[in-house]
Structure 1
C-alpha cells in the first residue's frame, strides 16, 4: 500500500470538509493507496500527467486532486469545496503549481 502525502495546505483543507465528506474522502483515498481507482473521478490532464480528481457528493460538492503514478506515494495536491459548475481557475492553477513543485523535487 502506498503512503499518502499531502502537498501544501491540502491536509488542512481536507480537515475542513464536513464529517461525512471527510469520511468519504478517507475511503476514496484508501482505495487509491491500494492501487485502485476511486468510485467517482475524472482525469485532470490540464494539471499534469497522471493527475485525477476525486468527486465527493456529501453536504455539497467536494474535490480532491491527486497523483498516484509515482512509486513511493499518492500525493494529494489540493482539496476544496466546489461551488460552481466549472472548477475555478484558481483551484486548477494551485494544483498545477503543486504538481510542478512535486515534479521538480522528484528529478
Structure 2
C-alpha cells in the first residue's frame, strides 16, 4: 500500500479515536448502522479501502485494508465482505472480554 494512502488511513483512524469522522469516511452498507465505516483512497490508477468499526467503546477496530480489484463498480467484493463480517465478530468477542 502506498505511503500516501497509509498516511490518509492513519489520519482517518486517528480521527475515529478522538471521536470525529474523516471527511471521506462513509457507512459501509450491509452492517445495519453507522458503526462500520470505510475510507476510500485513490492512488495512481488503484483504489484502496480501509474498513473499521467504532461500535465498541474500548477501541477502534480495523477490520480490513485492501486494494480493490473488482471490476464491478464500487461494490465491495463478496470475499472481502465475508472477511469483514468475521473480523467484526472477532472484535465483538474481544470487546466483551475487556
Q: TM class, shorter-chain normalised?
A: 0.7 to 0.9
Instruction: Answer yes or no: is 1:19 the counterpart of 2:23.
Output: no
In 1, Cα distance between the equivalents of 2:28 and 2:49?
12
Matches within 5 A, 1:1-107: 17-47=1-31, 49=33, 50-59=35-44, 60-84=46-70, 85=73, 86-107=75-96
- Secondary structure of the residue aligned to 1:76 is strand
Q: Deviations over 1:21-55 (max 9, x none)?
A: 11111111111111111121221242464111111
Gaps of 5+ in 2: none
Aligned length: 91
Asked if structure 1 preserves the Cα contact closer than 8 Å seen for 2:40 and 2:48, the reply is yes
C-alpha separation in 1, matches of 2:50 and 2:31: 13
CA-based RMSD? 1.7
Q: Kindly name which structure, 1 or 2, has the bigger radius of gyration based on alpha carbons.
A: 2
**What's the TM-score, normalizing by structure 2?**
0.80
TM-score, length-normalised on structure 1? 0.74
Instruction: List gaps (5 residues or longer) in structure 1.
Output: 1-16
Aligned to 1:7: none
Residue 105 (structure 1) shift: 3.4
